[in-house]
Homo-oligomer: A and B are copies of this chain.
Amino acid sequence: MSDRKPLILVTNDDGITASGIRTLVELMQQLGTVVVVAPNSPQSGMGHAITISSPLRLYPSEIFDDVIAYECSGTPADCVKLAKHHVLKDKAPDLVVSGINHGSNTSISVLYSGTMSAAIEAALEGIPAIGFSLNDFTRQADFSHTHDHILTIARQVLERGMPKGTALNVNFPARAAEPIQGIRICRQANAKWQEVFDERRDPHGRRYFWLAGEFVNFDTQAEDTDEYAIAQNYTSIVPCQYDLTAYGLLDELKDWKM
């Protein structure tokens, strides 16, 4: 870390009023100058959505003391784009942190996660980035047991940087009687959401559906996954990248009759 105070951009997907982002802002103020650009409403499940067919709004917010903050009508990925290109006038922050998400983003949830899409958007810009999520989706989630790990991980990233095109997906177990056991470097567990659609009728008799579902872990025997780590009361770190190419298939496909 240089002597200059690092510039840290904070965003999230639960919206600027969530308690998770307040915790993150307060912690990052210990490490550098904080700027916040966060959605003005919850954006959970937005994946890597961006807003291209409607205009974006950006308003100054005084929700945090002594912090330059804006609320944005867009998605978490929009927030990072607007922060870099407009709020910060193309001055790249030293670190982008997203979260703390109310709810875990382990395993396949990384695909649907607005929290991680903000971190990956930063990685696309070559900015070191971390998404933090807690395995507790309540509004009243207790984040106090995560403070030390957040500071440790953020300090390491500020000091070492991240290889270009990568970002960290950090997940914490929900607060338990025992303190978190430690930090584990993990791979994304192989799992999926087994959807159930809850079919109902509105007061006008028209049918509608709620998306619900259960998490199904196909990796229950493995001990190197993020799912395993948080189940064992560890903090999990998965380094993520955004090249989706299935390299192992390239040769096989070249043999197809096409």
A26 contacts chain B at the CB level, 8 A cutoff: no
A195 to B221, CA, bound (A): 43
The answer, among B209, B244, B253, for a CB contact under 8 Å with A55, is B209
Q: Are B249 and A187 in contact (CB under 8 A)?
A: no
Q: List chain B residues, Cβ under 8 A from A183.
A: 258
Task: Tell whether A146 is near chain B: CB-to-CB under 8 Å.
Answer: no
Number of copies of this kind of chain in the complex? 2
Bound-complex Cα distance A149 to B256 (A) = 13
The answer to whether B55 touches A258, judged by C-beta atoms less than 8 angstroms apart, is no
A209 to B195, alpha carbons, bound, how many Å? 36
CB atoms of A58 and B239 under 8 A apart: no
Contact code string A42-81 (vs B, CB < 8 Å = 1, else 0):
1011111111110111100000000000000000011001
Instruction: Determine whether the beta carbon of B197 is less than 8 Å from that of A47.
Output: no
* Contact A246 B240, beta carbon cutoff 8 Å: yes
A223 at the interface (CB under 8 A from B): no
Contact string against B for A residues 217-244, beta-carbon threshold 8 Å, 1 for contact and 0 otherwise: 0000000000000000000011111111
CB contact under 8 A between A241 and B239, given known A46-B47, A52-B211: no
Measured in the bound complex, the distance between the Cα atoms of B50 and A185 in whole Å is 28
A238 to B256, CA, bound (A): 13
List B contacts of A153 (CB < 8 A): 258
Question: Per a CB cutoff under 8 Å, which of B45, B163, B249 touches A239?
Answer: B249
| A contact residues vs B (CB 8 Å cutoff) | 42, 44-53, 55-58, 77-78, 81-82, 84-86, 108, 110-112, 117, 120, 124-125, 149, 152-153, 156, 160, 163, 165-166, 169, 183, 185, 187-188, 190, 192, 195-197, 199-200, 202, 206-211, 237-247, 249-250, 252-254, 256-258
Sample 28 A-B pairs with CB under 8 A, ordered by A number.
Answer: A44-B53, A45-B51, A45-B53, A46-B47, A46-B49, A47-B49, A47-B50, A48-B112, A49-B49, A50-B112, A52-B211, A55-B200, A57-B209, A81-B195, A86-B197, A110-B244, A111-B117, A124-B192, A149-B258, A160-B256, A163-B249, A185-B250, A187-B247, A188-B245, A239-B246, A239-B250, A240-B246, A241-B245
